[in-house]
Amino acid sequence: MFGELIVAYLFLGGTGAGACAVLAALGLLADRDDVARGMRERFRDGRGAVYRRLFVPGLTAALSALALGVLCLAADLGRLDRILVLAAAAPTHYLVVGFWAIAASMVLGAASLLAWQGVLPLGRPVFAGLHGALLLAAVVTAAYTGLLLGGLRAVPLWFGPWLPLLFVLSALSCGTALVVATAALSGAASSFGRVVCGLARADCGLIALEAAALALWLAATWAAAGGMASSTGFPAAPSTPTDVAALASVTALVEGPWAPAFWGGLVFGGLAVPFAVESALVRRHTAAAAASDGPRFRARLFGSAACVLAGGAWLRYLAVAAAVQPIVSSAPVAL
């Protein structure tokens, strides 16, 4: 139903939005005295330069992901002005709300990037308000990438609350991974060992919630189609075209042609491996250990983040690839 460009848009948009949300939250939680001193020094000296090394690469990566996602959407549509026409005709349509949320995230993210670079001098209240607005816009964008599929009633694998929830959790996890990866590459992970370990701990929770949402998504789709009844020996629900499509989608994922990618790429590589690595990092590393064990600590962080991002890409690809639309026959039914 959707091609690779839409899959890339869903992944890049969710990851960029998740990273913006994480960085906005970190900006709000940053030490006020350090931030005030950094703003006076344009984040070029002392502690301000350390903050700059954390936020500037992270925001650059997040905005790049959002921009690439928009380009993928434009390439798939052929003409981006169609979105603008829809925005004028139906401003409350969820597609339009998502478009404006992405636009707001990019504008607010760019303003935040300029502020952390010292190019855009701001007072503390305006600085905090900017990050609060970015956090809100980014969360709406992350939710929209899931609602884009979850609102399509014609595809039973997508319709319902579980896929949007799964996409939101995945977007926050992928966003956290992108921030951690940029911190590892820029060297900020050693200076912000406590923050990075906190992000790894939070990502462990997100991965656990994501795994639960993934199981509930497939189980709910299977049960709604009557698969649970037939597998337990009770009479199955009537095999409507929608039920047949739903069962075919779930079967294709867990034991059909997409099973190797589902179990190997998503469940094992994208969820189990980074959960184990990050759990070990959280247990073994303190802020001081992160600074003393720099290269190996950063390498493990980067490897775990890469697995999370790969799993997020697999999730969106499999959700689109395994979707089956109901086939309604027009043949007359014999009475």
pLDDT in tens, 190-241: 888 888 889 999 999 999 999 999 999 999 888 877 755 555 444 454 467 7
**Tens of pLDDT, residues 30-52:** 888 888 888 888 888 777 888 89
* Amino acid code (one letter) for 235: P
| 133 and 216 co-located in one domain | no
Residue 158 lies in a domain: no
What SS3 string covers the chain?
CCCHHHHHHHHHHHHHHHHHHHHHHHHHHCCHHHHHHHHHCCCCCHHHHHHHHHHHHHHHHHHHHHHHHHHHHHHHHCCCHHHHHHHHHCCCCHHHHHHHHHHHHHHHHHHHHHHHHCCCCCCHHHHHHHHHHHHHHHHHHHHHHHHHHHCCCCCCCCCCCHHHHHHHHHHHHHHHHHHHHHHHHHCHHHHCHHHHHHHHHHHHHHHHHHHHHHHHHHHHHHHHCCHHHHHCCCCCCCCCHHHHHHHHHHHHHHCCCCHHHHHHHHHHHHHHHHHHHHHHHHHHCCHHHHHHCHHHHHHHHHHHHHHHHHHHHHHHHHHHHCCCCCCCCCCCCCC
Q: Which of 99, 127, 150 is the last residue of a domain?
A: 150
Once rounded to an integer, what is the mean pLDDT over residues 153-171? 87
Q: Which of 101, 130, 150 is the last residue of a domain?
A: 150
CA-CA-CA-CA torsion sign (150, 156, 160, 162):
negative
Residue 133 lies in a domain: yes
Q: How many domains does the chain have?
A: 2
Residue 162 lies in a domain: no
**Tens of pLDDT, residues 14-32:** 999 999 999 999 999 988 8
Residue 269 lies in a domain: yes
| 109 and 195 co-located in one domain | no
Residue 107 lies in a domain: yes
| 20 and 128 co-located in one domain | yes
Task: Please report the pLDDT score of residue 197 as a whole number.
Answer: 87
* pTM metric for this prediction: 0.88
d(CA 157, CA 218): 8
**Tens of pLDDT, residues 277-297:** 999 888 766 555 555 456 777
| 203 and 122 co-located in one domain | no
Task: Please report the pLDDT score of residue 234 as a whole number.
Answer: 42
Q: Tell me which residue of 60, 147, 149, 167 sits closest to 98, measured CA to CA.
A: 147
Residue 98 lies in a domain: yes
| 1 and 146 co-located in one domain | yes
Once rounded to an integer, what is the mean pLDDT over residues 61-74? 91
Residue 156 lies in a domain: no
Lowest-pLDDT range of 9-13, 71-75, 295-299, 329-333: 329-333
Range of the domain at 256: 191-230+239-324
| 141 and 2 co-located in one domain | yes
Q: Which of 128, 150, 172 is the last residue of a domain?
A: 150
d(CA 328, CA 16): 39
Residue 109 lies in a domain: yes
